Amino acid sequence: MFSFYFNIGLAYLIIGFAVALVSYFIFKKSVLGNFIGALIIALIGSYLGGVLSYTFKGVIDFLSNINNSVNIFPPLITSIILLWIFTKVSEKYK
């Protein structure tokens, strides 16, 4: 049982890290706190998306699953949205 939740948590961690890398280094988004700020917000968004995924499981069952255990789209979408909002807020305070 531990490995099941560990794998899900690890997948969300990798998704959040990848979103932060792409947003900060490839798209060159200005973020308060630089890369660390982007990473924290993307990780929060990724885990929040995972929670929303399990909460609204009936609504998003049609999304594909990886290994029939991790639905990657809700954490990916939520971390991107949260990081986008955070970059918009960061631009006002720089």
CB crowding 44-67: b at 16 or more within 10 Å, else e = bbbbbbbebbeeeeeeeeeeeeee
45-73: per-residue pLDDT in tens?
Answer: 899 888 887 887 776 666 565 566 677 77
Range with the poorest average pLDDT among 17-21, 34-38, 52-56, 79-83: 52-56
pLDDT at position 14 is 92
Q: Side chain identity at 71, as an amino acid letter?
A: N
Average pLDDT over residues 32-45: 90
Instruction: Say which DSSP state 22 is in.
Output: I
Other C-beta atoms lying within 10 Å of the C-beta of residue 85? 12
Burial class for 82, CB neighbours closer than 10 Å (0-12, 13-18, 19+): buried
Q: How far apart are CA 62 and CA 59, in angstroms?
A: 8
Average pLDDT over residues 79-83: 89
Q: Is the pTM of this model over 0.75?
A: no
